[in-house]
């Protein structure tokens, strides 16, 4: 078994779908054998990581792996760990003609501005032989001093046409047959995210399903039924049971409060309930998420949310 | 790890993790930044204060912040003119070959327990003749930061050359708090408690939260003493010592019930404040206690919403204490959570047995599954070039593939390198 998002990850820059402008600029860096620091800005699943890997491969040749370091800002907690990793990596002599190392810092927008400022020093220290590629959703989340030292590349959300031609490529490689309706359905539920679309495709192959209905259901099942249960319990006024279930999900299964709110949100959007009630619930979810981001704790904020949902369920019909 | 002094590996790496009063941290950071910016006004920093507060630990944390090694001389080294000149003197003047172009410094010189430098007039045999003068020379000429620690500041000043050294240094009396029970005090006790429990667990021992609290209460702010006590109790499980102190525990338990009762039934804001003044637990504990017992006290749905609205606001301010590093928010968090009764219009008349927050217990129970989930996401992220966050968004996919057949499930486990428990977490 292979994971298709890796199996069909573009190898060359020219294999990347739907990012012609970015690709041609990156190719010119390869041609000139020169590389500035880069910022890759754009939504998830449009080719930022693929572009970084392909660029490195084309620029540094066969030994590219030894000179490429991939770091995740949201996982490698703390700037210290990132700095340590960078320092460690910078000690290795780059084995390629250009004498370059490339550090790909994924989700760089997850770093606080203080951490980014600290990273800037590290960047300068190793800049003779090391290039950074920062990946983020919006370039504005990267502090100006780093932005000014880097070239910003904007990746666009994949159009349905681009996504479809990529999917068709995978389908032919895998000897699958899929109706145009099914392709449309995949495009609709994955909204330009090739990673999500590829995962759906692989699930279809393994499960033998291929109807649009199955695809919509699958996307509906992206969240476990538990989210639905939480909302339903709370709306029926069963506060204690809802809170117990939440505790089970957070404590035993390790979901964060934001995970749960996100799941409830996508459940409630698809529910056929009164418009007023729907709005009130979405507002309550938004407020809870806002408060969590502001510094509230998972426990208290989810309990408060459950109290609100059970009131909405009983008062607003 | 066995056989080590736990104190030796309880060494926080950063200034933020090192326990100290916040105003002192700010002063120290200012000095560190002056080296980083290359605008140094005082070459040396004197940290003085009682034993066991963490002065040496702080010195190492400073070196860590500056990303340089420490050259240390303490009381066990001979510290006469020649040895100070040889070790600290050379280290102070010469920069590293490779760091010449770098601003700042290449090492930190630590003169530990400087009040024990036995200069010329000492009566006992070991003498550090000329040591004080040489230390003064080092401070005057150094190109690297010098940190001097001592207990007896006034004794040090009386030594010949002592006041010159002090005049050429930034002196800070090292404290963990300014007044007992102020914000720094509570914050540091809380941090210490968390760290101690971690240390005990990492060493494979167990100790109750209460025991830790009692030990801290008796020794604070002597951190070294606290850790030594904890180590001896955890290892010997010598409970007789704890029994003598049991009364204190029961005391604090009654007071939180009393506070719960006053908050939900008494509904007298001033009275609650009065009770809270003598509380023996953290504000975050108070919020958890209220959260746990609120649903029993507010049976009307709208009351519950309103009361939670208040508690949730308090909870946010509590979070902002850490987020914004503004400690006054904690006072507001406490006052607001104490006013939660204002949201309840129908006061409960039935008997309610206030319960201990289940959170504290379940969090430790859940540690295993939390870390299994985290590991699983990390492993997925590793092979698919995504963060754990990115992997979370596609968790449904792995669950769906695993549910298609047993073979696929096993193949998937092998492919990602998941163990049984991690796979179970993914499939739910």
Report the CATH number that the domain containing residue A243 is assigned in CATH.
Answer: 1.20.272.10
Burial (CB count <10 Å: 0-12, 13-18, 19+), residue A130: buried
Same domain, B81 and B168: yes
Same domain, A19 and A89: yes
CA distance B400 to A204: 10
Mean pLDDT of chain B: 80
Same domain, B355 and B310: yes
CA distance B5 to B124: 30
Contact B223, B54 (CB under 8 A): yes
Q: Which of A74, A294, A295 comes nearest B388 by C-beta?
A: A74
What is the extent of the structural domain holding B129? 20-173
CATH number at residue B120: 3.40.50.300
CA distance B305 to B263: 17
Final residue in a domain of this structure, among A119, A154, A189: A154
Same domain, B25 and B169: yes
More confident residue, B6 or A294: A294
CATH number at residue A208: 1.10.8
Final residue in a domain of this structure, among B363, B387, B418: B363
**How many residues does this entry show for chain A?**
317
Same domain, A57 and A184: no
Interface of B with A in 385-404 (CB under 8 A): 385-390, 392-394, 396-397, 400-401, 404
Per-residue pLDDT reduced to its tens digit, B213-262: 878 887 788 887 787 777 767 765 544 444 433 333 333 444 688 889 89
Same domain, A196 and A76: no
Same domain, A258 and A121: no
CA distance A234 to B79: 71
3-state helix, strand, coil in chain B (%, to 5): 60, 5, 30
Per-residue pLDDT reduced to its tens digit, A20-57: 999 999 999 998 888 888 999 999 899 999 999 999 99
At B5, list the tokens: 């002094």
Which helix (H) or strand (E) segment holds residue A79: the answer is helix A79-90
- SS3 of residue A38 by DSSP: strand
Q: How confident is the model at residue A219 (pLDDT cuts 50, 70, 90)?
A: low
The Cβ-side half-sphere exposure at B276, using a 13 Å CA radius, reads 25
Q: How many domains does chain B have?
A: 4
Considering only CB atoms, which chain A residues are within 8 Å of B344? none
For residues B144-163, average pLDDT = 88
Measured in Å, how far apart are chain B's first and last C-alpha atoms?
37
Reply yes or no on whether the pLDDT at B127 is more than 70: no
Lowest pLDDT segment from A80-84, A174-178, B94-98, B415-419: B94-98
Interface of A with B in 233-272 (CB under 8 A): 237, 239-240, 243, 247, 250-254, 259
CA distance A286 to A275: 16
Q: Please check whether residue B280 lies inside any domain of the structure.
A: yes
Same domain, B386 and B344: no
Q: Please check whether residue B323 lies inside any domain of the structure.
A: yes
Same domain, A43 and A150: yes
Interface of A with B in 9-68 (CB under 8 A): 9, 44, 49, 53
Contact B389, A191 (CB under 8 A): no
CA distance A254 to B370: 5
More confident residue, A275 or B233: A275
Please list, in sequence order, all residues whose beta carbon lies within 8 angstroms of the beta carbon of residue A126, skipping any fewer than 6 positions away: A86, A90, A101
Which among A209, A167, A204 has a CA at the least distance from the CA of A187?
A167
Q: Please check whether residue B96 lies inside any domain of the structure.
A: yes
- SS3 of residue A69 by DSSP: strand
Same domain, B341 and B281: yes
Nearest chain B residue to A314, by CA: B301
Q: Please check whether residue B6 lies inside any domain of the structure.
A: no
Contact B25, B121 (CB under 8 A): no
Reply yes or no on whether the pLDDT at B119 is more than 70: no
Prediction ipTM score: 0.72
Same domain, B314 and B388: no
Q: How confident is the model at residue B2 (pLDDT cuts 50, 70, 90)?
A: very low
Burial (CB count <10 Å: 0-12, 13-18, 19+), residue A248: middle
Q: How many domains does chain A have?
A: 3
Final residue in a domain of this structure, among B363, B391, B412: B363
Same domain, B399 and B417: yes
CATH number at residue A79: 3.40.50.300
Chain-chain contact of A107 with B392 (C-beta, under 8 angstroms)? no
Same domain, A113 and A27: yes
Nearest chain B residue to A255, by CA: B370
Contact A176, A182 (CB under 8 A): no
Contact B294, B312 (CB under 8 A): no
User: Cα A282 to chain center, whole Å?
Assistant: 23
Final residue in a domain of this structure, among A154, A189, A205: A154
Same domain, B127 and B35: yes
pLDDT value at position B56? Answer: 87
> A223: distance to nearest CA of chain B, Å?
7
Residue in this structure with the two tokens 């080719």, named with its chain if needed: A47
Residue in this structure with the two tokens 């573009």, named with its chain if needed: A10
Chain-chain contact of B358 with A247 (C-beta, under 8 angstroms)? yes
Same domain, A254 and A240: yes
Same domain, A89 and A190: no
Final residue in a domain of this structure, among B363, B386, B406: B363
pLDDT value at position A253? Answer: 64
Same domain, B106 and B162: yes
Contact B211, B233 (CB under 8 A): yes
Per-residue pLDDT reduced to its tens digit, B13-59: 889 888 999 999 999 999 999 998 888 889 999 999 887 788 988 99
Calculate the alpha carbon distances from A54 to A26, A27, B291, B391 in Å: 10, 10, 52, 21
Lowest pLDDT segment from A299-313, B138-152, B170-184, B195-209: B195-209
Same domain, B59 and B167: yes
Which helix (H) or strand (E) segment holds residue A153: the answer is strand A150-154
Chain-chain contact of A311 with B389 (C-beta, under 8 angstroms)? no
Q: Please check whether residue B343 lies inside any domain of the structure.
A: yes
Strand order from edge to edge, sheet including B70-73 = B70-73, B108-111, B146-150, B44-48, B169-173
Please list, in sequence order, all residues whose beta carbon lies within 8 angstroms of the beta carbon of residue B119, skipping any fewer than 6 positions away: B127, B128, B129, B130, B131, B132, B159, B160, B161
Q: Please check whether residue B11 lies inside any domain of the structure.
A: no
CA distance B66 to B105: 8
b (16+ CB within 10 A) / e for A173-203: eeebebeeebbebbbebbebbbbbbbbbbbb
Same domain, B349 and B374: no
Reply yes or no on whether the pLDDT at B179 is more than 90: no
User: Cα B189 to chain center, whole Å?
Assistant: 8
Beta-carbon neighbour count of residue B420 at 10 Å?
9
**Residue B362 contacts A, CB cutoff 8 Å:** yes
**B427, β-bridge pairs:** none
Q: Please check whether residue B10 lies inside any domain of the structure.
A: no
Please list, in sequence order, all residues whose beta carbon lies within 8 angstroms of the beta carbon of residue B28, skipping any fewer than 6 positions away: B15, B20, B45, B58, B62, B172
Same domain, A196 and A238: no
pLDDT value at position B322? Answer: 75
Beta-carbon neighbour count of residue A6 at 10 Å?
12
Question: Maximum distance among all alpha carbons in chain A?
Answer: 71
- SS3 of residue B160 by DSSP: coil
Same domain, A141 and A272: no
Same domain, B406 and B315: no
Contact B5, B235 (CB under 8 A): no
At B366, list the tokens: 């859940």
What is the extent of the structural domain holding A184? 160-219
More confident residue, A53 or B144: A53
Q: Please check whether residue B159 lies inside any domain of the structure.
A: yes
């Amino acid at each position: 078994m292979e994971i298709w998002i890796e199996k069909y990850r573009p190898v060359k820059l020219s294999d990347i779908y739907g990012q012609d402008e970015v690709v041609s600029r990156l190719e010119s860096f390869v041609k000139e054998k020169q590389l500035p620091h880069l910022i890759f800005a754009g939504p998830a699943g449009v080719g930022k990581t693929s572009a970084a890997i392909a660029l490195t491969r084309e620029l540094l040749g066969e030994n590219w792996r030894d000179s490429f370091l991939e770091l995740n800002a949201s996982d490698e907690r703390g700037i210290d760990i990132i700095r340590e990793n960078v320092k460690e990596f910078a000690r290795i002599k780059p084995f390629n003609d250009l004498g370059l190392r490339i550090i790909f810092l994924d989700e760089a927008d997850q770093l606080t501005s203080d951490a980014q400022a600290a990273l800037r020093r590290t960047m300068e220290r190793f800049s003779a032989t090391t290039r950074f590629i920062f990946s983020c959703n919006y370039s504005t989340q990267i502090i100006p001093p780093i932005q000014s030292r880097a070239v910003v590349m904007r990746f666009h959300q994949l159009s349905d046409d681009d996504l479809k031609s990529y999917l068709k490529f995978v389908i032919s490689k895998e000897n699958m047959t899929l109706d145009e309706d099914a392709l449309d359905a995949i495009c609709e539920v994955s909204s330009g995210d090739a990673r999500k679309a590829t995962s759906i495709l692989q699930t279809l192959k393994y499960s033998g399903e291929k109807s649009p209905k199955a695809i919509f259901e699958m996307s509906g099942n992206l969240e476990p039924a538990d989210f639905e249960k939480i909302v339903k319990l709370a709306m029926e006024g069963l506060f204690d049971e809802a809170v117990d279930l939440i505790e089970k999900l957070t404590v035993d299964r390790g979901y964060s409060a934001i995970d749960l709110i996100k799941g409830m949100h996508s459940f409630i959007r698809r529910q056929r309930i009164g418009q007023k009630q729907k709005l009130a619930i979405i507002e309550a979810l938004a407020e809870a998420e806002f408060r969590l981001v502001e510094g509230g704790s998972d426990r208290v904020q989810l309990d408060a949310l459950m109290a609100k949902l059970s009131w909405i369920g009983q008062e607003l019909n | 790890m066995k056989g080590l002094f736990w104190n030796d590996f309880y060494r926080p790496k950063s200034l933020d993790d090192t326990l100290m009063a916040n105003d002192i941290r700010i002063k120290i950071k200012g000095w560190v930044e002056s080296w980083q910016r290359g605008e140094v006004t005082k070459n040396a920093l004197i940290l003085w204060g009682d034993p066991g507060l963490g002065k040496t630990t702080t010195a190492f944390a400073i070196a860590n912040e500056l990303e340089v090694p420490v050259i240390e001389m303490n009381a066990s080294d001979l510290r006469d003119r020649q040895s100070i000149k040889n070790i600290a003197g050379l280290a102070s003047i010469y920069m590293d070959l490779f760091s010449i172009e770098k601003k700042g410094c290449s090492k930190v010189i630590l003169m530990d327990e400087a009040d024990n430098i036995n200069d010329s007039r000492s009566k006992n045999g070991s003498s550090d003749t000329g040591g004080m003068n040489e230390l003064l020379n080092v401070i005057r000429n150094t190109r690297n930061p010098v940190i001097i620690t001592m207990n007896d500041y006034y004794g040090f000043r009386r030594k010949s050359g002592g006041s010159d050294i002090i005049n050429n240094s930034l002196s800070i009396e090292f404290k963990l708090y300014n007044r007992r029970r102020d914000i720094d005090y509570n914050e540091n006790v809380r941090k210490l408690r968390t760290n101690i429990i971690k240390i005990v667990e990492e060493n494979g021992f167990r100790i109750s939260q209460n025991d830790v609290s009692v030990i801290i209460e008796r020794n604070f702010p002597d951190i070294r003493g606290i850790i030594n006590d904890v180590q001896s109790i955890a290892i010997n499980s010598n409970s007789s010592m704890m029994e003598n102190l049991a009364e204190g525990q029961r005391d604090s338990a009654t007071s939180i019930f009393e506070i719960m009762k006053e908050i939900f039934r008494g509904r007298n804001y001033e009275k609650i404040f009065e009770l809270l003044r003598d509380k023996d637990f953290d504000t975050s504990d108070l919020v958890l206690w209220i959260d746990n017992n609120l649903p029993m006290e507010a049976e009307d749905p709208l009351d519950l919403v309103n009361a939670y609205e208040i508690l949730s606001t308090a909870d946010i301010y509590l979070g902002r204490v850490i987020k914004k590093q503004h400690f006054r928010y904690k006072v507001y968090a406490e006052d607001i959570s104490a006013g939660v009764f204002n949201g309840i219009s129908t006061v409960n008349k039935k008997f309610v047995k206030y319960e201990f927050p289940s959170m504290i217990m379940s969090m430790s129970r859940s540690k295993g599954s939390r870390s299994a989930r985290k590991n699983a996401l990390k492993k997925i992220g590793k092979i698919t070039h995504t963060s754990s966050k990115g992997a979370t968004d596609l968790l449904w996919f792995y669950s769906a593939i695993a549910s298609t057949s047993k073979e696929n499930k096993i193949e998937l486990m092998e492919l990602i390198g998941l163990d049984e428990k991690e796979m179970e977490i993914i499939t739910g």
